[in-house]
Structure formats: structure tokens, C-alpha cells
Chain A
């Protein structure tokens, strides 16, 4: 019982950190606690959060995915290309997401069947997918997308006053939360990360689970890319560069162990919020973007050190 409370306390760490940062920013900036700013902030984090949700699954299995930013770029470019050639927007989005799924599956296949370490495998595909994006776009942004209401809705729309990307993020969160907690698949993700050999010997097809995990991450990355494309009304060949780092940071800030087997997706949402709030708050305070990076890195380091201490 005592241990359970302690356990919960250590899970609360990220939340407490978030609250502290929010309180500090609330006192120092007048515009922080306005409804407008908060909705804006949530919309900003939705892209990182969606990628980080997938990354949580990957990291829980003991892996890592460096290619998410490149997958985002290729999926966005592909979707934008189809849109600009006049394809039905929903079909274009569907094909884009499917492409994300396949790129993720490719990562998974290289890692499981090719027995390549996830870091190396996705480092390679990160470069390959980025190159493919540059080839496909000829290095230029794709503009002149559809003026379809439904496509614009994805990035710019509101439902009951809430930005549509935020709704997408919350739906994804809800679904993935239940998958991790209440499904066989979720249980397998944890056990593979905890001890892959024992999981296989318990009859779990670890390769298949991992391929799915990378596929889901690929798809979520493209979903994030489509939101970005819809907001900007164009697809940039360099979109998503370094996004993998923000996603990994969100997962780690949320308390998920990089060695796998231990963690939770709620933490990742909080982690993404911490990063978003820092970005937003430092902007409001007119801190130079150079210093912002130092502060962000410092906070990540501090969070991880505190987490180590409590264990």
C-alpha cells in the first residue's frame, strides 16, 4: 500500500513540474492565462503530441524511432501532391496515412526481420525518407492545395470553439490510452520491453507486435504532418526536421524509461505540454529563441535527474 502511494507520487512528478511551470508563467506573463493563448498552445502541441504518442509505444518496446520527422515530411508531401492534382481530399488523406503506416512497417521489418538495432535502422530510414521527400517535391514546397472545406478543417477548424487538431490529439490519446491499459496488444508492448526473450517464450509474437508499433508511429507522424500541411496550406520538403527530438523529449519528460517496459502515455501528454508551455511562455516573455533552447534543454536535464533521484 505504502509502495503504491509512492509509486503514484513518482508518476505525479511530471504533472507537478508542469503545474510549477504554469504557475511561474501565469505570474510573469499577463497574456498566458487567456483562453485564446491556451487554445493556441494546445493546438501547437498537438503535432508533437501525436508523434510522441507513437514514440511512447516504440520506447516501451525498448526501441527508438528517429525517422518520424522524415516520415511526416514524405507523408505530407505525398498528400499535398495528390491534393494539388485534384484528388478527393479525404482519399488523399487516407492514402497519406496509409503511406505513413507502410513507412513505419518498413522500419519494423528492418528492425525485426533484418535484426538491425532500432537506432541504426531508423537513422538510415530517416535519411532515406528525407531524400525521397526531396526527390518527390524536387526540393520545392508544394502549394496551391485544395480549397476543400474538409481539408482546411483538419488544421484550421474548430468544433465547439476547440481547435480541430486538439480534438484529434485527444481522440488519439483516448484510444491509445485504452490500448495500452486494457488490451492484449498493450500488455504485449510492456512485456516485450520488459523482457523480450521471456515474452517470446510465453508465446508472444514479438516481431509482429513491434512491426505494428512502428507502423502506428508512422501513421501518427503523417497525421501530424497533415495537420501541419493544412495549417500552412502547403507542404515543405524540410518539414518535421528534428521533430524526433521533441517527441523523444516528451516521452522521457513523461517518465517513460528509455530501456523499455516501463511508462505511460499520460506522462507523454504531460511531457508534450511541458515542452509546449515552455515554448509558448518563453515567447510571451520575449526570450530570445537562442536562450529558449538552453532553457528547454536545461528543463529536460533537470527532469531526468530528478526522476533518477526518486528511483
Chain B
């Protein structure tokens, strides 16, 4: 560590309308290191990044880049100093080609004529991608046709084409398949060797241990500490993040597994999955593992009536269940917590009350008239039961943190008193503390005899929570494990179609 510090932020203060979101935060990055920035939702990670890149002006404190004090007022200025942010929501224009995206806003032209130097841009795009060790992205391909992982590579390549010295990645693996994660890590490794620093923001602890050199933890807007990854542990980091021991990561469950509730027979949907057979019993958690795009979500959508099956049967209590609309599934007591909270789970500009009531309109109304007292009682009960941190039921869900938004989605579905609850990636983008609360809710539900299907891409979660584990590969069930039979390797083996 003899090299000069690349970025040094010290004693950073920032308030929003009286709310002190950053208090004397210190954060520094060395050249060529991968530095994890962790903390619960709302701990101040994104604000810190926004202060660094000049989106928010700081109230106090200093920022230096390579020893020189800076004061950015726009991300473009940060970019000129080699600091680039890659957001979770990628900045790719889907209708344009890879090359066009790569040179967006800095197209090469002949002099100042505006006539594009297409050949040169094509060549440079290839070079940029090559520098990342990526050779499977054709520069002429329309970006929208590429997988999320490849689109992300375009963004990274774009960053290094501007000679970025520090790339901040916000939840980069949230939407990636395992294979894509592996190639992302290879790219990060090669960037590190080229002396580029990475600030890595993620909730996935495994990844932090896999690729990071150091970690800084924020809690409630304060920097709790910076550690060498080699000298710390999972439990120590969690303790830094939540300020207390969290206990078991996956709480014990004492549910009694009962009768078969749902039986799926030979369920198929053209080109997506076929011949799906499985059962879920009352009080049981069936984990569904598989790579992204394997068809897990599609199977669940079909059971729920959000998409049409082409073949097969779904039985509930041994009787055929005919669903043509989610409404039918809901009436049968099936709830579905979708993967995409913002697009499919919530109406963001409505209040907590209105969102929770959405699935429960029948319960809170009589002859089409909503009883506001019944509605308030139902919503308040659920807010309390799930410990949603809010100013009250009238708060817009848009202004809640990720974990609390997820709790509102869960509240929506607990209101219908489901017999079967399908959870698709229930803890994505949710911090450790809220994760554990979600596992506790799953446990409580199973203790009441509710059957749970949990789709998840996080193997530790699948292994820690499920009673049985079903693995899906390219639209087919490759294996169903009983508790204790499976481990990460066996699941990955089945998920990649290995024999």
C-alpha cells in the first residue's frame, strides 16, 4: 500500500430536510483494489456514492482524488477524473447496437461535421471488449437482444474506454445468472490487475468474500469500520451492519408437514417448460433452484393463472384447479409474491393502505362499497405484524426502502390468508436484517399449515430454508432433493443439466 490513495472521502456530512443521512463518513479506495461497500437498506451507501459523483452536494467534509481536493457538481466531472458508476438499472438503449451504445454521447466523427466514423468505432468497441477478455459480443448486435450480463459488459467496457480508474458497481449481480456472475468476476479480476479500482456494493455476502480485498460498512449514515476481508468473518460483518448479533442466519422451524396441498402434473407451456411434476404439502417449504431463465418463474406464473398452460393439470386438495386469471388462483387461496416488486408487486404511487387492500378488496367491501374502517384495521394489523417501518398506512410505497416495500407485498398476500404462498426471489435487494424477518414470516406461515414454494437464486438461502429442493434446468425438473441430501455442488450440477 505504498501507492497514493486514489479516492479519499473524509468526514462527509449530508442531510436531507433535517434528516442526517451521512454523519462524518470516511471512505477511501486504493488503486487496484476491490472494495466492498456494505450496509442495510437506508444505511447511506447510495447517498455516499451520489455525494462522491456530484449528484448531491455535500454539507461538510472533503473529497480528494489522487491527493487533489475535488468538488464535483455533475457526474460528468467525476467521469473526467476517472470515476464511473454502473447502476443496477443499466444505462443501455435497447434499440441501438453495441457500438452505438458504447459511444453514446461521445461518437467519433470526421472533424466537427457530425459524420460518423463507423469503422473506427467498430474497431475500438472490439478493442474495449477484448481488454475485458470478452469475445462473444458482436459490436453490430442490437443491445436489447443481449442478455443482461452482456449488456453490463457493454457498460463496463464503456467505462474503461473513458480511462476509468475507479468503477462503482451497484448490486451488479442482482440480475445475472451464475454463469454471468462467473464471467463478471473474471472481468473484475482482470481490471484489478490493470490497476482499476472497483467499489462493489452488494447484499450477497458470499460474493464479498470471493472477490473483495477490503470492506467498509455503513450503518445509519455512519462509517462503522473498514476491514481487510481476510481478517474478518461473515458474522463479524453482519454484526457491524446490524449493530447486534443476528443469531442464526436461517432460523429454526418447527412446522408439522401435513397432507399434500398442491399437485402439479405434466404441466407444460410451449417453448418455456414441459412435463413439470411436483407436489407441495401443507406446512412445507419447497425450494425451487435453477439458473436464471430456466423457466422457474414461468412455471409459477402458470400455476397462478397469469399465463396459459398448453398441457397438464394442477390439483388442489386432489381436485383439479382451473385458473384462467390470477383472480381464480387467489380465490382458491394461492398468493404469488413476484420477483419484480416494482413492476409486478406494487402500485408505487399509491399508499401502503391502497396497495395492501388491492388483493383484499372483497374482504374490506360490501356490495362494491369499501368500508374504510375495515380497510384500516386490516392494513394496520398487517403493518404491525410484519414490522413495516413506516410513518403510517397513508405513506406512499415509493418512499419505502426495499425491505419495507417487500414487506408491504407480503402483507398484501397475508391478507387473503393464503393456503399456498409462492415467493419468487423474496429476498432480492433486501438487507440481512430484513432477510431474517422474511425467513421468520415463512416459518410462522408454515407453522400455521401454509404451504410455501420459494424460488431463489441464492443457494445458501435455498439450502437453509427448504424442506425439499426442486431443481429446474431448461424447462425441465432435473432433480428433487430431500432436506439434508443436497449441497451447493449437487444443486449446481443439476441446475446446469449435468448428469
A190–B354 CA distance with the chains assembled, in angstroms: 10
Q: Is the CB of A261 within 8 A of B343?
A: no
Q: Which 5 A-B pairs have the closest CB atoms?
A: A194-B347, A203-B327, A203-B330, A202-B358, A195-B347
The interface residues of chain B lying within 8 Å CB-to-CB of A184 are: 361-362, 365, 368-370
A194–B398 CA distance with the chains assembled, in angstroms: 12
Assess whether B359 is interfacial by the CB under 8 Å rule: yes
Listed A/B pairs (14) with beta-carbon separation below 8 Å: A182-B369, A182-B372, A187-B357, A190-B354, A191-B358, A195-B346, A195-B347, A198-B358, A202-B330, A202-B358, A202-B359, A202-B412, A203-B329, A205-B325
Q: Is the CB of A199 within 8 A of B327?
A: no
Rounded to whole Å, the gap between the CB of B305 and the closest CB of chain A is: 9
Rounded to whole Å, the gap between the CB of A107 and the closest CB of chain B is: 22
Interface residue count on the A side (C-beta < 8 Å): 22
B347-379 CB mask vs A (1 if < 8 Å, else 0) is 111100010011101100100111010000000
Q: Is the CB of A204 within 8 A of B327?
A: yes
Assess whether A133 is interfacial by the CB under 8 Å rule: no
- Which residue of chain B has the shortest Cβ distance to A181 in the bound complex? B370
The interface residues of chain B lying within 8 Å CB-to-CB of A261 are: 347, 349-350
A97–B137 CA distance with the chains assembled, in angstroms: 60
Assess whether A197 is interfacial by the CB under 8 Å rule: yes
- Which residue of chain B has the shortest Cβ distance to A193 in the bound complex? B347
Assess whether B345 is interfacial by the CB under 8 Å rule: yes
- Given A188-B361, A261-B350, A262-B349, the answer on whether A200 and B326 have CB atoms closer than 8 Å is yes
The interface residues of chain A lying within 8 Å CB-to-CB of B86 are: none
Assess whether A185 is interfacial by the CB under 8 Å rule: yes
Assess whether B306 is interfacial by the CB under 8 Å rule: yes
Q: Is the CB of A194 within 8 A of B348?
A: yes
Residues on A facing B (Cβ under 8 Å): 4, 182-185, 187-188, 190-191, 194-195, 197-205, 261-262
Q: Is the CB of B345 within 8 A of A187?
A: no
Interface residue count on the B side (C-beta < 8 Å): 31
- Given A185-B368, A188-B361, A261-B350, the answer on whether A198 and B343 have CB atoms closer than 8 Å is yes
The interface residues of chain B lying within 8 Å CB-to-CB of A187 are: 354, 357-358, 361, 370
Give the interface centre of A182, A183, A184, A199 by most chain B CB atoms within 10 Å: A184
Q: Is the CB of A200 within 8 A of B306?
A: yes
Assess whether B336 is interfacial by the CB under 8 Å rule: yes
A191–B397 CA distance with the chains assembled, in angstroms: 13
Q: Is the CB of B350 within 8 A of A202?
A: no
A165–B381 CA distance with the chains assembled, in angstroms: 46
Q: Is the CB of B343 within 8 A of A197?
A: yes
Q: Is the CB of A191 within 8 A of B354?
A: yes
- Which residue of chain B has the shortest Cβ distance to A4 in the bound complex? B394
Rounded to whole Å, the gap between the CB of B454 and the closest CB of chain A is: 18
Rounded to whole Å, the gap between the CB of B78 and the closest CB of chain A is: 28
A194–B354 CA distance with the chains assembled, in angstroms: 11
Rounded to whole Å, the gap between the CB of B434 and the closest CB of chain A is: 21
Rounded to whole Å, the gap between the CB of A147 and the closest CB of chain B is: 41
Assess whether B135 is interfacial by the CB under 8 Å rule: no
The interface residues of chain B lying within 8 Å CB-to-CB of A205 are: 325, 327
Rounded to whole Å, the gap between the CB of A256 and the closest CB of chain B is: 13
Rounded to whole Å, the gap between the CB of B268 and the closest CB of chain A is: 22
Q: Is the CB of A182 within 8 A of B345?
A: no
The interface residues of chain B lying within 8 Å CB-to-CB of A200 are: 306, 325-326
The interface residues of chain A lying within 8 Å CB-to-CB of B329 are: 203
